Amino acid sequence: MTPILLLLALTTPNFSAEKTTDHGLEVIRLSDAAHHVQASIAPSLGNRAYELSVNGKNLLWVPKDRAAFSGIPFLAPWGNRIPGGGFWANGKRYNFNFGLNNLSVNKGIAIHGMLQTSPLWEVIEMGADRKSAHFTARLQFWRYPDLMANWPFAHEYLMTYSLSSDGLSVSTTIKNLGAEPMPVVIGFHPYFNMPDVPRAECAVHIPAKKHVEMDSNLVATGAFTDVAFPDQVSLKDHTFDDGFTRLIRDADGTATFALQSGAKKIEVVYGPNYKVALVFAPPGQSFVCFEPMAGITNAVNLAHEGKYPELQTVAPNATWHETFTIRLTGF
């Protein structure tokens, strides 16, 4: 290589971040040209990543009708279900206002918060360097009375997507702007598929010691049972709609879930503050979900009842922060 060509190679970036459109929707596209990886995120659709592709094949499941609940929905201010029409926090009872029509409801149970498809995110920074492409968006929850009516804690979210040679990382920061501690029970619901491979030919790795027991409405009861999975569990013989905790972690505090077929592997690496994993691989579907959660289903009410001592909170004028990373190998 001549000196001029060497200089060009050193200064040509592998990573890029750009604003573009997809089906009329403004999106942020992060690209890693060296590894042919691309991530696309729609800020006005709940700041949701809906594409994580390698060589043009999307590893995030999106149905043909491009339904809203696919890709990587953000579940906030709570993930999963809160039954009973409301919740307890700081020793006080708060009732949901269903008339505001900003709650998702399943069998009368408020599910997955209020922000899955929120258009209220604003992009505040984006860029690329030699190591990554990234962007950060903010949602100022405290500005919207209808949201505050159903989760009366003044707070805001910062979410950063970063695409690097290590994979796609999603970092979330919660700033508590209020005068009381705020429960932290957020989560994400990533939908993965293995392109060109039937799900029955895949296996999952679930690093967990405890199973979260649930009632007939899939609401946690506060009971836990032991689990002892083999290193890989075949999806030919198993389906899942289960919660797990007491995750088995590496020395750095992370826990790694995996979907694998031969040399192809999708790993989801949970940071230490994601205490719970929901694994969703229902019958008759092609996807598998490894869902990072800050707490078990109905954590706020179970904590009030003395059944869940691991509820996380963020103090007034403080922040809560955590990251999960999707790593891809063999594609």
Domain 12-329 has CATH 2.40.160.40: no
CA distance 178 to 141: 11
Residue type, 27: V
CA distance 46 to 117: 4
Report pLDDT digits (tens) over 232-251.
999 999 999 999 999 999 99
Report pLDDT digits (tens) over 172-229.
999 999 999 999 999 999 999 999 999 999 999 999 999 999 999 999 999 999 998 9
CA distance 38 to 15: 10
Q: Where are the alpha helices (DSSP H) in the chain?
A: 3-11, 145-150, 299-304
CA distance 219 to 67: 25
- pTM (predicted TM-score): 0.94
Would you kindly state where each structural domain of the chain is located, as residue ranges? 12-329
